[in-house]
Chains A and B, each alone.
Chain A
Amino acid sequence: MSDLLWWVFASLAIGGGLGMVTRKNPIASLLFLVLTFFSLAALYVLLGAHFIAAIQVIVYAGAIMVLFLFVIMLLNLGHDYRPDVRGGAWIVAGFATAGLTGWLLTRVLTTEGAVVAQGGELEIAAAVREWNAVGAIALPLFRDYLVPFELTSVLLLVAIIGAVLLAKRRV
């Protein structure tokens, strides 16, 4: 059952990604991306990482993409269908993508990658039982990775201040 669901959502995620890059209509593109995000969340659930799945949907599918949709609709961008990438850039982009995909696939398909993935869900399940779904994320975040975590929040703060500076003419 889990395997079947994995195949369903994995193909939906890849299909959504393909649809996102091939559609010319920005709204369609965006909805395909939402489909990808949602399928990724479903894959996280299959791994037992419920919290990550919920955050994936709340933050990416629910907040960021809605803002994108809002911007697209507000600026009425749905009518300009000229391609962004022109001329020889296609070939370079194609080779780079193919290379990256190939490298990723070899990493994933080699035994080393498979061994790392083995038993991961059991570890997650044990952590969730002990500290519950939120605690299992919060503990390492605030104990082992406190400095990177705080630095990330500073980065976000910088982004917010930058946005305010750009939006306001006189500060």
Chain B
Amino acid sequence: MHDVGALSRTAFLIVSATMVVGVFTLIMVAVALFTLLERRLSAWIQDRLGPNRVGPQGILQPVADGLKNLLKEETYPAQASRIYFLLAPMLSITPALITFAVVPFAAPLPTPWGLVEMVIADLPIGILYILALTSLGVYGIVMAGWSSNNKYAFLGGLRASAQMVSYEVGLGLSLIPVFMLAGNVTLTQVVWTQQEELGLWLALPLGLAFFLFVISAFAETNRLPFDLAEAESELITGYHTEYSSMKFSMFFIAEYSNVLTASALMATLFLGGWDIPFWQGDDMRVVAPGVVQGALPAWWKTLLTLGVFAGKTVFFVFLFMWVRWTVPRFRYDQVMHLGWKVMLPTALAYITLVGTSMLVLDALDVPFGLRYGLFLTAVNLVAAIVFLWLLDRDRVIGGATYRRLPRTALRREPPLVTAGEGVVLPNDGT
């Protein structure tokens, strides 16, 4: 225990205000840079150059885009419901920007005025706050679709709402094993469990939950392969078809900040948050105002952990983009099928499995620590293998042609592709 000293009330207010402004600015800047990153990455994946003319390597492109969007003419569809049309982008962007508040992003920082926790608000309900706000994010999209009075926008809004409501179930259930291990729902406790109590990042003992969480997060943020709400080839751009200039931009900012928050959550819940692997010097937590348990806090530790956290988050943002430019879009019935008939039962079965394993481990008097975690990792490995075997192509999610044909007919069919080395056929009898 190290008593660094608590902040006075005035200092706390000043620090909090500074942190709110700082994090808000960082998110906005990051979102702007992500739009550029997405375009450069897509160009790289498709063997093009992408925007590289404005500033060095196109770094100022987001500024140009922003200016263009601010200066463009705003259009209102003649038949739109004006109030809801205006309200929709606001309802979409507000939850997206305030969800980050409960994510701890670095080790606590000692200052001459007292100890500063590197999280805007360490609420006792932690992640439930994020779930609550994500569920409110649907309204913006649905209202945008409905108020535009455009059938494509309307269809986009309907699809988005059905999809987000369905995958919220999977998202919530995939988090329950995390809560069971951490024993609390606050994100600081989840980080501490991974750093010290278990000594293991939860991606290992709860790999399957991690997998389900990533899939649900992709669906919740309406990113490919789940971007049916704005399927360009069918719905123009879906729910924001009728929006122009900055209002259109607000939907975009909302999407990218949702991606950012989802990435930060994946990093925090399953990859140790700001924890630096294989080093005990950063294992600390605040137990009371100004009192730290574990290692001694220092400013350079805060900086290092902040860098590690940013690295993990950006990796997941990269994953979001990588998947977007690699995987094609699902059909709508496939999305619903996956959500309700695959994710939900799997998550429920997994919760039972983890719960049973924990009960068995407790009954065997295994102390909550590394050995406990490794045992769960082994259980998880078996579960993951079974799950992935079941999720095999053309067993659960298959192409339309495969589903219509009887299985026996498929088996006897000659290979569709004969030439070419390393071509893995979708059904070669293995």
On A, residues with C-beta under 8 Å from B are: 27, 31, 34, 38, 41, 50-51, 53-55, 57-58, 61-63, 66-67, 69-70, 73-74, 128, 132-134
| Interchain CB contact under 8 A, A69 and B123 | no
Contact pick for A70, options B132, B162, B183, CB 8 Å? B162
| Interchain CB contact under 8 A, A54 and B129 | yes
Give the segment of B22-30, B134-142, B197-205 that binds chain A: B134-142
- Nearest to A59 among chain B residues (CB) is B135
| Interchain CB contact under 8 A, B185 and A134 | yes
| Interchain CB contact under 8 A, A63 and B165 | yes
Counting chain A CB atoms within 10 Å of each CB, the highest count among B84, B125, B133, B154 belongs to: B125
A62–B125 alpha-carbon span in the complex (Å): 17
Given A34-B139, A62-B138, A132-B185, are A70 and B161 neighbors across the interface (CB < 8 Å)?
yes
Q: Can you name 17 extra interface pairs (CB under 8 A) apart from A55-B128, A62-B136, A66-B135?
A: A34-B139, A57-B135, A58-B128, A62-B131, A62-B138, A66-B142, A66-B161, A70-B142, A70-B162, A73-B142, A73-B157, A128-B124, A132-B124, A132-B183, A133-B125, A133-B185, A134-B184
| Interchain CB contact under 8 A, A58 and B132 | yes
Let me know if B117 is at the binding interface, CB within 8 A.
no
When distances are taken between beta carbons in the complex, the residues of chain A under 8 Å from B139 are 31, 34, 66, 69
| Interchain CB contact under 8 A, B123 and A50 | yes
A66–B119 alpha-carbon span in the complex (Å): 31
Let me know if B264 is at the binding interface, CB within 8 A.
no
Which residues from 122 to 178 on chain B have a C-beta closer than 8 Å to any C-beta of chain A? 123-125, 128-129, 131-136, 138-139, 142, 146, 154, 157-158, 161-162, 164-165, 168, 172
Let me know if B179 is at the binding interface, CB within 8 A.
yes
On B, residues with C-beta under 8 Å from A are: 84, 123-125, 128-129, 131-136, 138-139, 142, 146, 154, 157-158, 161-162, 164-165, 168, 172, 179, 183-186, 189
| Interchain CB contact under 8 A, B123 and A27 | no
| Interchain CB contact under 8 A, B158 and A70 | yes
A128–B139 alpha-carbon span in the complex (Å): 31
A38–B172 alpha-carbon span in the complex (Å): 20
| Interchain CB contact under 8 A, A132 and B184 | yes
A162–B137 alpha-carbon span in the complex (Å): 31
When distances are taken between beta carbons in the complex, the residues of chain A under 8 Å from B142 are 66, 69-70, 73
CB of A72 to closest CB in B, whole Å? 9
When distances are taken between beta carbons in the complex, the residues of chain B under 8 Å from A51 are 124-125, 128
When distances are taken between beta carbons in the complex, the residues of chain B under 8 Å from A134 are 125, 179, 184-185
When distances are taken between beta carbons in the complex, the residues of chain B under 8 Å from A132 are 124, 183-186, 189
- Nearest to B129 among chain A residues (CB) is A54
| Interchain CB contact under 8 A, B158 and A73 | yes
When distances are taken between beta carbons in the complex, the residues of chain B under 8 Å from A61 are 132, 135-136
| Interchain CB contact under 8 A, A67 and B125 | no
A90–B381 alpha-carbon span in the complex (Å): 64
When distances are taken between beta carbons in the complex, the residues of chain A under 8 Å from B133 are 57
- Nearest to A128 among chain B residues (CB) is B124
9 contacts between A and B (CB under 8 A): A53-B125, A58-B132, A62-B138, A62-B168, A70-B161, A132-B183, A132-B185, A134-B179, A134-B184
| Interchain CB contact under 8 A, B132 and A57 | yes
When distances are taken between beta carbons in the complex, the residues of chain B under 8 Å from A74 are 158
- Nearest to B138 among chain A residues (CB) is A66
A34–B143 alpha-carbon span in the complex (Å): 13
A27–B83 alpha-carbon span in the complex (Å): 12
A134–B125 alpha-carbon span in the complex (Å): 8
When distances are taken between beta carbons in the complex, the residues of chain A under 8 Å from B136 are 38, 57, 61-62
When distances are taken between beta carbons in the complex, the residues of chain A under 8 Å from B168 are 62-63
Given A54-B131, A61-B135, are A67 and B165 neighbors across the interface (CB < 8 Å)?
yes
